[in-house]
Amino acid sequence: MNAPVKTAKLIKGATSDWEMVIGLEIHAQVTSNAKLFSGASTQFGGEPNSHVSLVDAAMPGMLPVINEACVKQAVRTGLGLNAQINLRSVFDRKNYFYPDLPQGYQISQYKSPIVGEGEVTVDLDDGESIVVGIERLHLEQDAGKSLHDQSPTMSFVDLNRSGVALMEIVSKPDIRSSEQAKAYVSKLRTILRYLGTCDGDMEKGNLRADVNVSVRKPGEPFGTRCEIKNVNSIRFIGQAIEYEARRQIGILEDGGSIEQETRLYDPGKGETRSMRSKEEAHDYRYFPDPDLLPLEFSQAYVDALKAELPELPDQKKRRFISEFGLTPYDASVLVGERESADFYESVLAALEDKARDGKLAANWVINELFGRLNKEGQDISASPVSAAQLATIINLIGEGTISGKIAKDLFEIVWQEGGDPRELVEARGMKQVTDMGAIEKVVDDIIAANPDKVTQARAKPALIGWFVGQVMKSSGGKANPQAVNELLKSKLGL
Ligand code: ADP
Ligand code: MG
């Protein structure tokens, strides 16, 4: 799986071409009912300061106790990222002052993280894939939240988030364009959601990225990076990278140099701006937290978690291609969300033998259903058409009861009004006409009315398509296209 880092399109500067180098630090909130070192709830949206234990508020003498569920989630995530699981890891104090950090330090992991090197395969829009290296994953606490917009003269602090478990997932600087960065984040999010270790909700801030960007002339050593903090949407990650790379190129081409610094992205202005000069690790006075023992577990513990992992998107995609004959593209779309893949498999399971065609089912799920859901801005969990209903529609096509065209009308009716597709076809007279007598009458009429076309079709048999179209039209789309074709061929002597 060692695909080389893919050089993406270069940026044309005034003096030369430039290449972007990008590495991402993703903060992913661990899915867990309780916080990393306390039993307080992690529920989102509670009254300010209603989910705060004495530990989270850093009352003197309180001691942190590790939450095993969070440890398990971190290990499972590491396994999902094909990463080294470290059987021994250490919690450190990262010291800094901030009003929303009552301890005066964050408990994090520094030299010995719980997860080491791994990799993520990322499919790009052009059909190629890249492998992005993972440097490490460590567990740490989230901080509280300062609220500056509640009063004209005061700031408030809400500690509900204080102490919630985060996984910081650090990539290697293997990313070479904003498209690759966006695809990487979206793939990582998909994996986390499959694992159930982070819900990936970027609007709630449950997944956010620090984006490190530098530029270089191709082949030269890496340049100095700037880090854009806390970008909270995939689109903004792309925009921030594009802006930042061009800003750096502008400075370098003017003979300047890049200061390593921490910047913020302002989506309103579409710009990054300086926040502070980059702090160094030694500024934080990291040291092992004396309140916590090193975290140790056995290989058997890791192996047991590994054995219980769900099927992950890459495996599922491979299976969809080999088992159902899907194209890599269709398979990728279907496995993008676990719910979509499950929906597709439920449709397949409900198909009768005659209609069991993986590609046809994929077309219906992707083009008709997802297309319609996108139009309404809804996702699969809110689909008004169930897997069973969609399977019935496809079964009706497979049996020859309705044509593909009528099936689309039927889909729309089911979408709007619900109901059993089979009963709807019956009640509304949507059945395909296979009665040869009735079709023959229509065919004869059309042949009689178009002698010139008949001559043309005899010279050029492809023109039969025009006749098929006419017959289908005058039968309201209900004639069986195959029967029409055969009949026309014999009548026209083709
Ligand atoms: P820090 O905490 O100082 O930001 P980390 O090691 O946690 O350091 O993260 C560094 C991030 O920056 C990683 O994602 C890494 O891939 C990325 N990175 C390192 N060097 C460069 C560079 N020259 N250009 C772009 N990104 C870089
Ligand atoms: Mg950083």
Cβ atoms within 10 Å of 117's Cβ, excluding its own: 15
Q: What is the pLDDT of residues 120-168, one digit of tens each?
A: 999 998 888 999 999 999 999 999 999 999 999 999 999 999 999 999 9
Ligand 1 pocket: which of 212, 227, 249 to mutate (most atoms <8 Å of CB)? 212
Residue 5 amino acid letter: V
pLDDT of residue 37 exceeding 60, the answer is yes
* HEC-encoded secondary structure of 346-407: HHHHCCCHHHCCHHHHHHHHHHHHHHHHHHCCCCHHHCCCCHHHHHHHHHHHHCCCCCHHHH
What average pLDDT does range 23-32 have in this prediction? 98
Report the nearest-CA residue for atom 13 of ligand 1: 23
pLDDT of residue 333 exceeding 90, the answer is yes
Q: Could you identify the atom of ligand 1 that is nearest to the CA of residue 212?
A: 26
Structure tokens at 173: 């600087």
DSSP for residue 281: G
Domain positions in the chain: 5-306, 313-427, 436-492
pLDDT of residue 15 exceeding 90, the answer is no
CATH 3.40.50.1370 fits 436-492, yes or no: no
CA distances from 170 to 116, 174, 481 (A): 10, 11, 57
Report the nearest-CA residue for atom 20 of ligand 1: 173
Q: Could you identify the atom of ligand 1 that is nearest to the CA of residue 281?
A: 3
Least confident residue range of 237-241, 282-286, 297-301, 381-385: 282-286
Are 64 and 38 spatial neighbours (Cβ–Cβ below 8 Å)? yes
Instruction: For residue 432, name the pLDDT band (cuts at 50, 70, 90).
Output: confident
Report the nearest-CA residue for atom 22 of ligand 1: 225
Are 386 and 458 spatial neighbours (Cβ–Cβ below 8 Å)? no
Q: Which of 23, 25, 53 lies closest to 38 in space, CA to CA?
A: 53
What average pLDDT does range 447-466 have in this prediction? 89
Structure tokens at 321: 């291609």
* Terminal-residue alpha carbon distance, the chain: 54
The SS3 of residue 298 is coil
- Ligand lying closest to the C-alpha of residue 226: 1
Instruction: For residue 1, name the pLDDT band (cuts at 50, 70, 90).
Output: very low
Residue 136 has phi, psi (to 5 degrees) of -170, 165
pLDDT the model gives residue 145: 94
pLDDT the model gives residue 404: 87
- pTM, entire model: 0.87
Report the nearest-CA residue for atom 2 of ligand 1: 281
What average pLDDT does range 267-293 have in this prediction? 89
Q: From CA 108, how far away is CA 94, in angstroms rounded?
A: 7
From the CA of 173, how far away is ligand 1's center (Å)? 7
What average pLDDT does range 245-249 have in this prediction? 97
pLDDT the model gives residue 5: 63
pLDDT of residue 3 exceeding 70, the answer is no
Residue 60 amino acid letter: P
Residue 326 has phi, psi (to 5 degrees) of -80, 155
Burial 287-309 (b: 16+ CB within 10 A, else e): ebbeebeebebeeeebeebeeee
Residue 308 has phi, psi (to 5 degrees) of -100, 5
